[in-house]
């Protein structure tokens, strides 16, 4: 392993946890009155699923590949770095409305992000599209990709 970074969307995690607690308290209150809290139990399940899937993003660079894992690891992508153009790195701003997760924009670029901010754009030799990874340390990620290319 050459590089590893874990990112946590603190605001989103806090918001989902508060919603989860409110749903739990509501379900307890409704069931104490003898009513059926099925809707709140469904909300609890969906919020728990969102927390499990997106509570963090792990970026790991190792032996000519980048591994990106969201949450518990159900959503993951391994990207081969053999075709990376070492002169094709750029910095891209990821706006807040792009949300979190693994997505494509209208130009065909692929984004992996967990929060708004800066991302490292990686150009591949046989593609005009970028792979953009949201990171706290752009230079370290770029250096680790170049380092794996030289190994």
Helix (H) or strand (E) holding 43: helix 38-54
Confidence of residue 111 (pLDDT cuts 50, 70, 90): very high
Residue 8 backbone phi and psi in degrees, to 5: -125, 125
pTM: 0.86
Q: How much is the pLDDT for 89?
A: 93
Top-confidence residue, 96 or 119: 119
Q: How much is the pLDDT for 127?
A: 87
Beta strands in the chain (DSSP E): 3-7, 57-62, 65-70, 75-80, 90-94, 101-104, 110-113, 117-123, 130-134
Q: How much is the pLDDT for 97?
A: 85
Q: What mean pLDDT do residues 118-123 have? A: 94
**Distance from chain centroid for Cα 90:** 19
Whether the predicted pLDDT of 130 surpasses 70 = yes
Q: How much is the pLDDT for 3?
A: 92
Q: How much is the pLDDT for 46?
A: 94
Whether the predicted pLDDT of 14 surpasses 80 = yes
Q: How much is the pLDDT for 151?
A: 62
Q: Of 91, 131, 89, nearest to 108 (Cα)?
A: 131
- pLDDT of 132-151, one tens digit each? 999 999 999 999 998 887 66
Residue 116 backbone phi and psi in degrees, to 5: -70, 160
Q: How much is the pLDDT for 106?
A: 87
- pLDDT of 64-110, one tens digit each? 899 999 999 999 999 998 889 888 899 999 888 888 889 888 888 99
Whether the predicted pLDDT of 119 surpasses 90 = yes
């Amino acid at each position: 392993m050459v590089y590893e970074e874990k990112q946590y969307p603190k605001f989103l995690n806090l918001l989902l946890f508060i919603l989860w607690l409110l749903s739990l308290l509501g379900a307890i209150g409704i069931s104490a009155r003898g009513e059926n809290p099925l809707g709140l139990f469904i909300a609890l399940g969906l919020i728990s699923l969102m927390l499990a899937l997106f509570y963090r993003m792990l970026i790991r660079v190792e032996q000519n590949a980048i591994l990106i894992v969201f949450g518990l690891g159900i959503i993951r992508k391994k990207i081969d770095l053999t075709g990376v153009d070492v002169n094709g790195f750029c910095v891209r701003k990821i706006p807040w409305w792009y949300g979190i997760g693994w997505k494509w924009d209208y130009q065909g670029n692929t984004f992996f992000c967990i929060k708004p901010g800066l991302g490292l754009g990686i150009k591949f030799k046989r593609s005009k599209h970028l792979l953009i990874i949201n990171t706290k340390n752009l230079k370290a990620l770029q250096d680790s990709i170049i380092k794996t290319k030289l190994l």
